[in-house]
A and B are shown apart, each in its own frame.
Chain A
Amino acid sequence: MRKDFRMSAVDLALLAVAALLALGAYAIPFGRQTAARPLIYGASAMLCTVLLLLGVAVLAGQAGVSARVLPIGLPWLGSHWGLDPLSAFFLVVVGMGGAAASLFAIGYGRHEGEPMRVLPFYPAFLGAMTLVVLAQDAFSFLVAWEVMSLLSWALVMAHHRTEGTAQAGYVYLLMAGFGTMALLLAFGLLAGPAGDYGFAAMRAAPRSTTLAAVILGLMMVGAGSKAGLAPLHVWLPLAHPAAPSHVSALMSGVMTKVALYGLIRVVFDLAGPLEWWASPAVIVMGAATAVLGILSALMATDLKRALAYSTIENVGVIVLALGLALAFRANGMTAPAALAFSAALFHIFNHAAFKSLLFMGAGNVLVATGQRNLDALGGLIHRMPVTAALMLVGAVAISALPPLNGFASEWLLFQSVLLSPDLPQAGLQIIVPAAGGMLALAAALAAAAFVRIYGVGFLGRPRTDAARSAVEADRFSLAAMGVLGLICVLAGIFPGVVLDLLAPATEAMVAARLPLQAEQAWQTLVPIAEARSTYSGLLVFAFITITSSGSAWLVHRFASRRLSRGPAWDCGFPSNLANSQYGAGSFAQPLRRVLGSILLGAREEVTMPPPGSTAPSRMIVRLRDWAWEGIYQPLAAAINTVATQANRLQFLTIRRYLSLVVGSLVSLLLVLTIWN
């Protein structure tokens, strides 16, 4: 062979994955050594950075689309791997989240009680997620997908002796298996009876729109359950908080995105054209998930659980955007489709950044105070200034406030909602604006939720000694958070850069892209046309900084700059009880009464002591999870009953067993007699 062998991008990516897996293997014998932790996490960070760069290179057109077939996996098929723009974009997400989490873990991992339950799985988990993104045939995809679930399960079970983890892990793995089955069926349809499991063959095969819709449904179940789409989300708020925080960051920030990758890959790329009527279900499901998720986040008193719920909200937002893209694409409106799709991808990127950041912050808090309960925190901004500042960045970003990145992507999404009148179908014309309203509601509630989380957790006065004696986290953790915070700010100020970067992926999926943003003045976003709508994160940022600092300077220069400290006034009734502050529960009360009572069946039970008694009066809040009560419990009950009934067959007499045999014989003979 004269043509010399050149390493393509995908080869490099696969090598990086192999290295990650090797790291995991290395951890099994050597993980106990103290030197192992920084080595493993450091190496993972580097490898993830490599993956990140590879993705960027492909998106920027520096490295061509590449593919590689390895002689493993399904024998007659081999395992196909490839790096096209879509994969590259998600490779960027995985690389970014993975690198940050690993860097974070160099410091955070020191506090891990049983490192041997984390170190072997962690790098392999990263590798598996990468493989999902790279896979180009059904079998490799599903193997990688399921291995990803399995390893994350092992990581969730790392703290297997803390109560609640067992149930979390069980529900998680069960839902993962359920999702995989749905994916199996979807791929079964895609492959057809001949069994062409290669993505290329699936893409090529003609398919009726009805069949495509069925596949879409199966994917919504399969990938949706992994991404946390309501009502398949119940495992998520259990499992994500249970894991070590750097793993939570990965699961919430990256793994849900990988799940969405599966959805996008199959629905937009493989399944073929869809009718418009397939999209409303997706849109409604996304909107409902968003509102339900953020409302639950608003009610949760556990810091990490609240973050997990907010992940559900963001997944809902993304799915809503994807549904819009489907609706537009089905009507041949490629430019709006591109807008919605870019919004989805952009939000995926953003959420990966700020949700990882927030979970890391939660991890620092957990280490510093040993507390996840918001009502046990408070005043951390004094004890952990850097963590608090970075958490603030994350909170502002996730609340979709300008000038940070969260707003940029939601703004794009609103723009695409505003294009809905051009849709021909009345049904969509009604649904889309309603969904837009729910989106706005979700955004507003998100702000409320994060004011609550940040205000109760970091501001005010410490509520426990643990919070009073918290100490700032180590520099690795802070560095990782700092990087992510920087990304949030930059992506908010220069959204055009990110959009141009992900344009190839958009083009590949919806056959259109946003106008090139790089040539716009002042980094302005111009999704459709200058006259229609524009937003310049850079200028807004500049204006705010200038005016705020300017006004501050003026005031201090010309008015007064004197300042004295005194006790809080509090309308003349200052109380030095830390519990007199508003807590997580009390902050949520207004919204709990307004929305929670309907959507979450929130009930307050107040027990008043009899007059004269000094016993405290108690208020207990009960929330109901409709999905849990409506779907899962009945299902479990049904299986239980059947199992109990079937179990009688274990306790028959031999004679009865014989009669079973005879019975089946006689019945088969009867079948024969009739069959003749």
Chain B
Amino acid sequence: MELIRDLLVQGVQMLVVVALAPALLGLVRKVRARLMRRRGASILQPYRDLLRLMRKDVVLAENASWLFRAAPYLIFAATWVAAALVPTFAFGLQFNWTADLIAIVALLGSARFFLALAGMDVGTAFGGIGASREMMIASMAEPAMLLAAFSVALVAGSTQLSTVAEHMATEAVGLRVSLGLALVALVIVALAENARIPVDNPSTHLELTMVHEAMVLEYSGRHLAMIELAAALKLLLYISLIICVFVPWGMAGAQSGVLAYLAGFGFWLAKLALGGVALGAFEVSIAKMRVFRVPDFLGAALMLGLLGVLLLFVSRSL
């Protein structure tokens, strides 16, 4: 019974994240449009896009190899698994212990790895641009992410997300400088990883500044749909990751009743929406930066992460 319930919860979470991801994307777009004094498409627009793409034929470049066709599913799978392992509305899900924070970062890494390869597979200039810039950004962002993860893990004494969340939920933590630094770092990384302004502009084409879009340029139909869905999932993943680490309040405890779960779910939705709105607002308020400014931006994140970790040590050794 227990087991079944846990499996159920886990399953629900998996489905929920994949179901909500496009909505979150839609919300962000809506917010941006509103702030720009446009009405903007409805929040459900992403679902429509995805469905249409799903139904379209795939037009494959002659040169495309099997890797190009397999990549979308692999990317989607890796992202989804990662997203499924981040506690959203409840601690201690059945499979939380499958992978910890580091593993989740690495899973996203695998997704990126295949995306970059897919970008290079057709052998176009744009694909190469996208891949090389993506890897450059990633090689700055990943260490920053891991350092942020370090300081979080050091505070919580674990890299196990649900444990971390539980620990953070307790008042024992209080306010810590290093956590603040880690938060900032994590936010910057999230922006970069999700190809948001100021690092990349998700809604541009035919610009030499594009990164993510350049890689998926050759994709069409269902393949593109999978990739877009994966991207949306990734955004959701990052937001709920930040939520569960820094504002875990209201999450349902492990093996608690249905009501608790529902409550937790409600809290989570609210936080998610807030996150989306904040992101939209932020994106509108600043401009995209040149590609070669990005490293400085991420370098700052790296430094913040390192500083956070060091401060933690200092405070301990004092």
Contacts and interface: CB of A to CB of B under 8 A. Distances in A.
Interface of A: 378-379, 381-382, 385, 392, 396, 399-402, 407, 411, 414-415, 417-418, 420-421, 426, 429-430, 433-434, 436-438, 440-441, 443-445, 447-448, 450-452, 454-456, 459-461, 522, 524, 530-536, 539-540, 543-545, 547-549, 551-552, 555, 559-560, 562-572, 574-575, 578, 580-583, 586-591, 593-594
Sort A-B residue pairs by CB-CB distance and give the 4 closest, nearest first.
A582-B128, A460-B123, A455-B120, A548-B77
Contacts of B143: 437-438, 440-441, 444
B146 A430 contact: no
B139 A441 contact: yes
A433 B306 contact: yes
Interface stretch (B33-41, B93-101, B264-272, B278-286): B93-101
Q: B135, B140, B157 — which one has the most chain A CB atoms within 10 A of its CB? A: B135
Given A433-B310, A441-B139, A451-B116, 5 more contacts: A400-B106, A436-B147, A533-B159, A536-B97, A568-B63
Interface centre among B131, B132, B218, B302 (most CB of A within 10 A): B132
Given A544-B78, A551-B226, A559-B54, A451 B98 contact: no
A547 B95 CA distance: 15
A47 B55 CA distance: 57
A426 B125 CA distance: 49
Contact of B123 (A396, A448, A531, A568): A568
A283 B102 CA distance: 21
Contacts of B62: 565-568
B184 interface: no
Contacts of A547: 76-77, 80-81
Nearest to A438: B143
Given A401-B113, A544-B74, A568-B61, A535 B103 contact: yes
24 contacts: A400-B106, A414-B146, A418-B150, A418-B153, A430-B313, A437-B309, A441-B143, A452-B135, A455-B117, A460-B122, A540-B81, A544-B81, A551-B76, A551-B80, A555-B222, A563-B59, A566-B61, A569-B217, A569-B218, A575-B124, A575-B125, A582-B129, A582-B132, A590-B132
B42 interface: no
Contacts of B97: 524, 530, 534, 536
Interface in B111-157: 112-113, 116-117, 119-129, 131-133, 135-136, 138-143, 146-147, 150, 153-154, 157
A588 B132 CA distance: 7
B150 A433 contact: yes
Given A414-B146, A429-B313, A570 B116 contact: no
B246 interface: no
A544 B77 contact: yes
Contacts of B78: 544
B222 to A, nearest CB: 5
Given A564-B60, A571-B217, A551 B73 contact: yes
Nearest to B139: A444
Given A533-B160, A548-B77, A459 B120 contact: yes
A402 B126 contact: no
B250 interface: no
Contacts of A434: 306, 310
A560 B54 contact: yes
A184 B207 CA distance: 61
B295 A411 contact: no
Contact of A433 (B66, B141, B292, B313): B313
Contacts of B218: 568-570
A580 B120 CA distance: 12
Contacts of B150: 417-418, 433, 436
A171 B84 CA distance: 52
Given A536-B99, A559-B55, A459 B117 contact: yes
A485 to B, nearest CB: 16
A437 B312 contact: no
B109 A437 contact: no
Nearest to A411: B102
Given A418-B150, A426-B317, A436-B150, A543 B77 contact: yes
A436 B102 CA distance: 12
A574 B103 contact: no
A461 B310 contact: no
A543, A563, A570 interface centre (most CB from chain B within 10 Å):
A543
Given A544-B78, A568-B124, A569-B218, A443 B142 contact: yes
Interface string B74-94: 101110110010000000000
Nearest to B316: A421
A401 B110 contact: yes
B230 to A, nearest CB: 10
Contacts of A540: 81, 98-99, 103, 107
Contacts of B98: 522, 524, 534-536, 539-540, 543
Contact of A459 (B121, B142, B160, B310): B121
Contact of B133 (A564, A581, A590): A590
Contacts of B109: 399-401, 444, 447
Interface centre among A438, A559, A586 (most CB of B within 10 A): A559
Contacts of A400: 106, 109
B291 interface: yes
Contacts of B60: 563-566
B137 to A, nearest CB: 8
Contacts of B253: none
A593 B293 CA distance: 11
B125 A582 contact: yes
Nearest to B145: A440
Contacts of B121: 381, 455, 459-460
Contacts of B136: 448, 590-591, 594
Contacts of B194: none
B11 to A, nearest CB: 12
B163 interface: yes
Given A448-B135, A533-B100, A560-B57, A587 B128 contact: yes
Contacts of B5: none
A548 B74 contact: yes
Nearest to B305: A437
A539 B95 contact: yes
A570 B217 contact: yes
Contacts of A455: 116-117, 119-121, 128, 131
Contact of A582 (B127, B139, B225): B127
A414 B309 CA distance: 14
Given A382-B65, A429-B317, A535-B99, A440 B142 contact: yes
Contacts of A552: 73
Nearest to A420: B313
Given A379-B63, A401-B110, A568-B122, A437 B54 contact: no
B206 interface: yes
A522 B63 CA distance: 40
B239 to A, nearest CB: 21
A473 B34 CA distance: 59
B120 A564 contact: no
A424 B54 CA distance: 58
A451 B115 CA distance: 10
A560 B99 contact: no
Contacts of A454: 117
B176 interface: no
A262 to B, nearest CB: 31
Contacts of A392: 67
B188 to A, nearest CB: 15
A456 B106 contact: no
Contacts of B317: 426, 429
B169 to A, nearest CB: 15
Contact of A562 (B58, B129, B160, B205): B58
B98 to A, nearest CB: 4
A121 B214 CA distance: 50
B292 A590 contact: yes
Nearest to B160: A533
A400 B143 CA distance: 13
